[in-house]
Amino acid sequence: MISAHGSDELTPLYVFDESHRLQLKEEANHLPNVLLNSAAACNVVMLGAGYFTPLSGFMNVKDAISVAESMHTSSGLFWPVPILNLVHDASMIKSGTSIALKDPNVSGHPVIAIQKVEAVEELSKEQVSSIIQNIYRTTDPKHPGVSTFSSLGNIVISGPIQALGYSYFQDEFPGTFRTAVEIRNEISRRGWQTVVGFQTRNPMHRAHEELCKMAQHSTGADGILIHMLLGKLKPGDIPAPVRDDAIRKMVELYFPPNSVMITGYGFDMLYAGPREAVLHAVFRQNCGCTHFIVGRDHAGVGDYYGAFDSQKIFKEEIPPGTLDINIFEADHTAYSKILNKIVMMRDAPDHKKEDFVILSGTKVRAMLAAGEALPKEFARPEVAKILMDYYQSL
């Protein structure tokens, strides 16, 4: 199986030994505590689940700036975005101590991790602005990722963690949430050698379905990992349970048996375009994927990124051999009225725009809310019904 990133094996930070975990939870009751923001809580989940191998915890200012500027930590590890525990006030936190990290996304704010504090540092306004510009390629406060990052605080608490839970993801999505360890184990159990990873924060329409099949055929993959984001999105995006139901129905009816793993991971969307695409590739390598689909406007939002910037970054900014995972570059995929099948647009250069069945997200939402059936060339009817039921319930 493909190697983990920067390590001979996965390094999940979750405390698997139950007695030790209970002991740490008891000790946490006597430690200073910090109520995390959602972004930091999701970082804990990803660190605990092994997705962020080989990181041992939250970065300090030096590493955060180095990663933002060069996609490498100060010690030389390739990493595309800073992994930070940012707070507004840490006046009661001292370096060299341990603190309990509380989960903001679960009622009662249970302790989700214990962190050994190596440093408490302050980011200047200029440093915050520089990190935002490098990661998001904009400082526009209307960008949802910029808006979120700007609200998290400028005090950096760095140091290794011991994760004690997976927030709400394991309880709310027991059939879907999986750690990188569990995914690797399942890939091994199935005997898959070549695996294509597909990232989604949306339901999958026919174009997405066919894109996965195209990638599997092109790479000769044994299977497909459909890996959906289960964390927070921007307002108006479809909730994870609805997406989960829709994707499961599509796979059940339209993919060969045992050719797809449907899983999800606990992270909030960054909308960081190219940098987030690289992060997606890193933790899909940690999952055991040999190939990862990067499509048009991958992890983008609005008009902040060029249509294929998330593909260009792998060719123009990442030296060969940095990652073991292979990138499958996908074009916009749609149903051709001329060929009567779904194709990548680059493979039909003689087509005009009107030769494809293309619906905007706004149009799709309006049709579903009005109870109008989506074209069969665009969406499977069984999938469309699940989405229609959701929109008509609003």
Q: Annotated active-site positions, please?
A: 201-202
CA distances from 53 to 43, 69, 273, 288 (A): 12, 21, 21, 12
- The DSSP call for residue 371 is T
Comparing CA positions, the residue from 36, 279, 293, 305 lying closest to residue 146 is 305
CA dihedral sign, ordered 61, 62, 66, 72 = negative
Q: Which amino acid is at 382?
A: E
**Helices (H), ranges, the chain:** 18-28, 38-48, 61-70, 125-136, 144-150, 169-172, 180-190, 206-219, 240-254, 274-287, 309-316, 361-369, 381-393
The C-alpha atoms of residue 169 and residue 89 are separated, in whole angstroms, by 28
User: How do 291-294 and 195-200 pair as beta strands?
Assistant: parallel
Spatial distance between the Cα atoms of 149 and 151, rounded to a whole number of angstroms: 5
**Alpha-carbon distance 44 to 112, whole Å?**
8
Separation CA 80–CA 274 (nearest Å): 9
